[in-house]
């Protein structure tokens, strides 16, 4: 992964990830969040921690074998409850079957670094609505 995988806390082993998934399903862990850190390559090579997470999080989390309801609860509805925000005017549409290849150059973010470059993921955010306005929209398509 080189500098693209440089994060704090560090990426964990498969056994650690399995234990975290089990804790999420059992309700021990309430939510999943990303710390979007759009560093350029020079900053990453200089040791900056973090990587792009907005566009890859759903596909990566679904790739852990979690069902769509668990992912939605952990990534969307439970975080909203925790910060006491209404879901009325803010929501996302996820296509859990969308298969796509991670191409950092196509990210909407200024940060183009990701340890998932070139990886095929299943599951993608198709639309986000914030304060009643469409912020992001993709055509639903399957590979």
User: Out of 35, 40, 67, 89, which one is annotated catalytic?
Assistant: 35
35 is catalytic: yes
Neighbour tally for 80: CB within 10 Å: 14
As given in the structure block, the two tokens for residue 106 are 């196509």
**CA proximity to 126, closest of 137, 142, 113:** 137
CA angle 23–28–32, rounded 5-degree value: 75
Q: Which residues are marked as active site?
A: 35
């Amino acid at each position: 992964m080189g500098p693209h995988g440089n994060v704090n806390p560090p990426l964990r082993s498969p056994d650690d990830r399995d234990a975290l998934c089990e804790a999420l399903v059992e309700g021990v862990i309430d939510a999943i969040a990303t710390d979007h850190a759009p560093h350029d390559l020079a900053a990453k090579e200089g040791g900056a921690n973090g990587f792009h997470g907005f566009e890859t999080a759903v596909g990566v989390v679904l790739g852990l074998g979690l069902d769509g309801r668990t992912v939605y609860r952990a990534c969307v509805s439970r975080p909203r409850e925790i910060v006491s925000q209404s879901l009325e005017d803010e929501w996302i549409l996820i296509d859990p079957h969308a298969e796509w290849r991670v191409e950092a150059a196509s990210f909407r973010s200024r940060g183009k670094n990701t340890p998932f470059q070139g990886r095929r993921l299943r599951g993608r955010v198709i639309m986000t609505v914030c304060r009643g306005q469409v912020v992001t929209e993709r055509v639903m398509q399957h590979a």
